[in-house]
Amino acid sequence: MMQIVKEGYVFVIIPFVFGLVLFIVGRCGIFLTIAGILCIFISLFCIYFFRDPKVKVTKGDNLILSPCNGTVLEIDENEKIIRVFLSVFDVHLQRSPVMGKVVSVEHKPGKFLKAMKSYAHVVNEQNVIVIENKDGKYIIKQIAGILARRCVTWVKPGDFLQSGDKIGMIKFGSQINLHIPKNTYIRIKRGDKVVSGITVVATLKKIDG
């Protein structure tokens, strides 16, 4: 059976039960029967949307992994920021890009513009997670969108994470921003598909001596 995150249970159970009732009650009426079938399909889609697939985390020194599944929307080489768009068909669970300690988790209220808007990452509601290790700070921004009205964070300040550990999810499509240290090489480009815990988005520069 497909594993789903706990936040998805209510979205799966309620439409399924409601749809089942409509289907049974409406067996003699085409409208209620169709409505019941649609509710059951919504329940099945939510199972797919809230899926939590098993991941074999990429291992290696100096690797920075993608915190999410999606399509690379923009890369700022100067500021070392990677922006990824999550469609409703992507896995919406996020993972830690590196090993490190969570130093802060902050919720910032805001708007709910489309995630594709160039300034959505500035004005939209978001959760900001800061992870720190010996190589620097890594900032993951869970950004809400027009459909994604809630970002869920599962970690708190003081938690110590391994690369690929689960840190949260966004409900129903939006954007993830990853800010990485300046001493890194970005290994992806705009338009690339990335997978959380698997795709290497950047590597740390080795310091000689």
Instruction: Provide the pLDDT for residue 27.
Output: 67
Highest mean pLDDT among 9-13, 68-72, 141-145: 68-72
pLDDT at 149 over 70: no
Instruction: Provide the pLDDT for residue 29.
Output: 74
The residues annotated as belonging to the active site are 174
> 132 by DSSP, 3-state: which?
strand
Closest CA to 95 of 171, 198, 209, 191: 198
Measured CA to CA, the distance from residue 118 to residue 121 in angstroms comes to 7
pLDDT at 188 over 90: yes
**Token reading at 22:** 């409509």
Q: Predicted confidence band at 209 (pLDDT cuts at 50, 70, 90)?
A: very low
Residue range 17-67, pLDDT digits in tens: 988 888 787 666 788 888 888 989 999 988 888 889 899 999 988 999 999
